[in-house]
Structure 1
Amino acid sequence: MDDPQTWVHYGAIDPELAEIFRQDNTPKFAKDNKISSIPTTRTAWNPIYKELAANALANAQKNGVKGQEIYIPRRDGSLARCLLYQPEQSPPSASPLVVFFHGGGFCFGCPEMESINCINVVQTYRAVAISVEYRLSPESRFPGAIHDSWDALHWIAENASQLSSDPSTGFIIGGTSAGGNISAVVSHLARDEKLSPALTGVYLNIPTVLAPEVVPEKYRSMYLSRQQNKDAPVLTKANMDMYKEAYAPDPRSELWSPFNWPSGHAKLPPHYLQVCGLDLLRDEALIYERVLRRDYNIPTKVDIYPGLPHVFYANFPQHSRSKEYAKDTTQGIGWLLEAQRLSDQ
């Protein structure tokens, strides 16, 4: 991983995935690239997410996890529907706080997409976990998702004790794809705005953090996956173009490309990243991790999935590594919590 020249090899298709394609299996969450189709796609997908979340919670309730909807105010007076997961019984030690932002290209998705991760961290670490809703595009364009997510995080920080959590034992944010972008941006806002309590860890799952229009010259030779994987399964260049048209971000803004944050990345908390080798977004995540670790001495942990595409675990659940992905996520959150504990000693 330390040699960027080897990163292209991560893009060689995984043999098991190739066999799945030979059997004519298509991604579970296939879509077209028309903005006009977004409402219909949401209508088709959201019930699937909600059923999976309801089933996961029903099983988790047998093991001491409770879940409920909460409504968090935003700056314009509207309310964000969020999902709160907590231990049924108060644990003997304080509960850390973990906040998730779902993926979906800023156009699709709902808080239920992160329910399994929420439940896993509650069961494993007796944490309090929240999955945040933000308004979607094209109805809410850039930087609406960032504003909604920052408002939610600010409220969560102010009300952490009322949520039965103690962020001094761990305060982690994270997300998938678009949610990874949100998490990277919000982590910088939290640092610059001196959010209290402060974040102790950041989880970035297949994030977009650096638009191709604004890649610094010194990193262009490393930034190859946008071209190498432009026709990869699940997330293609055509998909990204549709998402960008709907969300309408400014590529020059740090709220879209947090890699280029004007004040840099010093004093950010430890980061855990998950990166897929056959993913359009692979190299920007690897470059970002490299800069955090080498230039800013920020502790990082990375799990790489060679030959597998963006959100492969949801689209190809029959793949053997799909079952490992959620376990890796939970262990990565545990690493962030341990990094916090060691820094306090």
Structure 2
Amino acid sequence: MSTAYEEYSSKYRTPETPATVKDARRILEERGQYNQSLLSKPPFDVLDKAVNVTNTTVQLPEMPGHDFLLRVYKPKDYSGSSLPIMCYFHGDFWCTGNANSKDFGCRAIIARGTAIIIASFEYRLVPEVTWQECFNDAEYAMKWVAAKACTLGGDPTKGFPVGGATAGAHLAAICAIRARNRHPNIKLTGQCLIVPTTLAWPNDKIPSEWKERLKSHTEMADAPVLNEKLYEAYVQLLKIPDDEKRNGENFPAWASLEGLPPAYLPMDECDPTRDQGFLYANLLRKAGVLTRVDYYEGLPNMFVHYAELSTTLTAGYNLSAAVKWLLQHEDKK
């Protein structure tokens, strides 16, 4: 692997690649707790000092019997005046992870200079629920934030991006498509898609011209942290029928993308899913969607877990600047 990952491996314990969903949940829980412990130490303490974080539970109208954890991030100097608001989803491939999983990314957006409120939802995980329920949780959470933003200090008319990382970016992307298709009253103003999964691979119905753009599935089949075998196991765990895999409201690469809000995609290198994000960026641009991409050579999937990397620190600054860019370039039509 190239230099950034070698830097991490030379200084810290090499991240364990999970063999099972149980392993993945344990590893990600441990990593999330470890990252929380870093918040008391420089240079990470700024992510704590500059950001107020509160945890609460909410019930969504479509799921009145379930308490969803909602983590809300606000600037420490928040004055009570309304701010733009982002609906955010953690990653880790639909079956693992929680609000801690991508906590540093949410903190960095605010701590590095963007005045925004972030509402991070913990959606339900497969296999405890079906793929439909997992995907729908994200849509319902987006609807809840649109309706209840003022209770959090947010104002969607000042900016309402949706965001997430890996599978959370996938959920954010389908939220943008479902908002356009199903909820004309919801006006999303941006998409922050950190290393998004945009289709279910492998799939023998994938067009040949796409396959030429998806070589990372072979080139990075043995990547650290997430390898191709593990990624395919996560997709299989969804148990999603083939025809639903090609439904753009489930996997966004298959959707008509015209009229979607501007998109930002920060991409890594050492990752079998890498080229799905680059393919999606190309499809967005072809559809006339304003799209911006950053690329971090040498970083593995879920690189935001590895806060000690200098490139991850840079990515935090870039992430905040890009969210600010989304707020400035929202679709006015």
TM-score, length of structure 2 as denominator length: 0.86
Partner of 2:324: 334
1:259 aligns with 2:250: no
Specify which of 153, 156, 163 is matched with residue 145 of structure 2. Answer: 156
Residue 272 of structure 1 contacts residue 332 of structure 1 at CA under 8 Å; is this kept in 2?
A: yes
Equivalent position SS for 1:107: coil
Question: Which of 272, 279, 289 matches 2:271?
Answer: 279
Task: Find the counterpart in structure 1 of residue 34 from structure 2.
Answer: 48
Letter in 2 for 1:130: A
How far off its partner does 1:189 sit? Answer: 0.4
1:117 Cα deviation after fit: 3.1
2:73 corresponding residue in structure 1: 85
In structure 2, which of residues 277, 293, 300 is the aligned counterpart of residue 309 of structure 1? 300
Q: Distance in 2 between matches of 1:96 and 1:171?
A: 6
Residue 132 of structure 1 pairs with residue 121 of structure 2:
yes
1:147 pairs, out of 136, 158, 176, with 136
Which consecutive unaligned segments of at least 5 residues does structure 2 have? none
1:196 match: 185
The structural deviation recorded for 1:93 is 6.2
The Cα shift of 1:191 comes to 0.7
- The count of corresponding residues between Structure 1 and Structure 2 is 325
Report if aligned partners of 1:53, 1:112 keep a CA contact under 8 Å in 2. no
Per-residue CA deviation, residues 314-344 of structure 1 (Å, 9 max, x unaligned), is 24x443212112111111111101112xx54
CA contact (8 A) 2:188 2:261 kept: yes
After superposition, the Cα gap between the structure-2 partners of 1:276 and 1:68, relative to the gap in structure 1 and judged at 3 Å, is same
- Per-residue deviation, 1:257: 2.2
Residues 314 and 62 from structure 1, CA distance in 2 versus in 1: closer, same or farther, beyond 3 angstroms? closer
Partner of residue 14, structure 1: 2
Paired amino acid for 1:83: R
Matched, 1:320 2:307: no
Aligned match of 1:235? 226
- Aligned match of 1:65: 52
Q: CA deviation at 1:236?
A: 0.3
Q: Distance in 1 between matches of 2:82 and 2:239?
A: 42
User: Which stretch shows the higher mean deviation, 65-74 or 52-61?
Assistant: 52-61
3-state DSSP class of the match of 1:149? helix
| Counterpart residue number, 1:3 | none
Determine if contact 1:64/1:88 at 8 Å carries over to the other structure: yes
Change (3 A) 1:313 1:43: closer
Question: The residue matched to 2:177 in structure 1 has which SS?
Answer: helix
Q: Residue 51 of structure 1: CA displacement?
A: 4.5
Paired residues of 1:57 and 1:66 also in contact (CA < 8 A)? no
| Aligned mates of 1:43, 1:308 — CA distance in 2 | 21
TM-score, normalised with respect to structure 1: 0.84
Alpha carbons of structure 1 residues 75 and 93: separation in structure 2 relative to 1, 3 Å: closer
Distance in 2 of aligned mates of 1:277 and 1:296:
25
Query: Match of 2:104?
Result: 116
Q: 1:309 Cα shift?
A: 1.8
* 2:261 equivalent in structure 1: 269
